[in-house]
Amino acid sequence: MKQDLIENDSLSVKKQTQAGDQSASLDLTIAAPVDETVDAGHRKELSELLKNIEWLKSDDAGYCELCNATIPVARLEIVPHIRVCINCAAN
């Protein structure tokens, strides 16, 4: 929430500093929602990575969530966030 206020303030400041340049102001107006969407995507990705790190640190890491079979290390190296074995993924 506080970050959103900072970002909004930042946009306001940028617009004020470029008040004489209508084109730059329009660019900022258009770019703000795009930047917000990209930032939201980064926050979601970071959240997923943090969850995966916690899973990898846990005793459950490397075992299928559905059948409890061992997930091969090669599979985890390719797709580190995978939590099911090949057989369960195929079903």
- Chunk the chain into consecutive blocks of 10 residues (it has 91) and report each block's average pLDDT, rounded to whole numbers: 48 57 70 80 90 89 94 90 92 88
User: The tokens of 82 are what?
Assistant: 């995978």
pLDDT value at residue 15: 52
- pTM reported for the whole predicted model: 0.51
For residue 5, the tally of other CB atoms under 10 A from its CB is: 9
CA 55, 71, 88, 82 dihedral sign is positive
pLDDT value at residue 37: 83
pLDDT value at residue 19: 55
pLDDT value at residue 29: 73
pLDDT value at residue 11: 55
